[in-house]
């Protein structure tokens, strides 16, 4: 049975009182654009940019800089690509969406929960807007981290309700750079082999 995480998200949003403090893990400005548009009315949002997978560092800086076009400031936990390489060692040749990607997604989400501890009511990530990301894995990881850290996870499948298409339109309108690979060097090399 397929879970409708978009429906769950709407139910969760309607159950919150006031405007909870949300920590939104942002993978990039293009993916964040439609998510911000969708959530801004319901939450007091802080935008977290933690993406040590992005290669090279110039690409990391470029992606981070694009948030200015969305008129948001991001909290940057810093660039440490060596940590990412250590995390995925042995999984470099995995296809996109495989174990390397799952390790990377879980790591970034866990850092968001660690950062949120004691400061935020809710945590979620923009990652589910991508048609290339497994929303089930993302939401299952969020549920596990909610239990571990005691912070509410906002379920989502942001690609629903034309979220991905909306992100493309916002990027065109605001002239936001849209990268052509997920982030790490292995996503570049594996893309070239397809």
Closest CA to 27 of 59, 1, 4, 3: 59
Are the CB atoms for 112 and 140 separated by under 8 Å? no
Strands, E assignment, the chain? 21-25, 44-49, 74-76, 122-125, 152-153
8 A C-beta contact, residue 37 and residue 166: yes
Q: In what order do the strands lie in the sheet with 44-49?
A: 74-76, 44-49, 21-25, 122-125, 152-153
Question: What is the model's pLDDT at position 23?
Answer: 98
Compute CA distances 138 → 109, 158, 171, 192, whole Å: 9, 11, 24, 26
pLDDT digits (tens, 9 = 90+) for 104-156: 999 999 999 999 999 999 999 999 999 999 999 999 999 999 999 999 999 99
- Check residue 190 and give its pLDDT: 60
**Alpha-helical segments (H) within 89-134:** 99-116
Q: With beta carbons less than 8 A apart as the criterion, state whether 123 and 25 touch.
A: yes
Tell me, yes or no, if the pTM score tops 0.75: yes
> How confident is the model over 158-172, as a mean pLDDT?
97
One CATH from 3.40.50.300, 3.40.50.620, 2.40.110.10, 3.30.390.10 for 5-13+21-193: 3.40.50.620
pLDDT at residue number 2: 86
Domain boundaries, the chain: 5-13+21-193
9-26: pLDDT as tens digits: 999 999 998 999 999 999
Reply yes or no on whether the pLDDT at 193 is more than 70.
Answer: no
């Amino acid at each position: 049975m397929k879970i409708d995480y978009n429906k769950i998200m709407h139910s969760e949003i309607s159950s919150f009182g006031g405007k909870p403090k949300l920590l939104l893990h942002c993978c990039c400005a293009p993916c964040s654009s439609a998510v911000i548009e969708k959530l801004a009315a319901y939450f007091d949002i802080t935008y977290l940019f933690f993406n040590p997978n992005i290669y090279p560092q110039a690409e990391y800086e470029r992606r981070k800089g694009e948030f200015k076009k969305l008129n948001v400031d991001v909290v940057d936990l810093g660039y440490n690509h060596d940590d990412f390489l250590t995390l995925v060692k042995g999984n470099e040749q995995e296809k996109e969406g495989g174990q390397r990607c799952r390790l990377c997604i879980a790591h970034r989400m866990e850092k968001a929960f660690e950062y949120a501890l004691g400061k935020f009511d809710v945590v979620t990530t923009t990652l589910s807007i991508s048609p290339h990301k497994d929303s089930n894995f993302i939401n299952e990881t969020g549920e596990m981290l909610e239990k571990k850290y005691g912070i509410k996870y906002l379920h989502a499948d942001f690609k629903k309700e034309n979220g991905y298409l909306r992100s493309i339109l916002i990027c065109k309108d605001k002239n936001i750079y849209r990268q052509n690979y997920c982030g790490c060097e292995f996503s570049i090399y594996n893309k070239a082999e397809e």
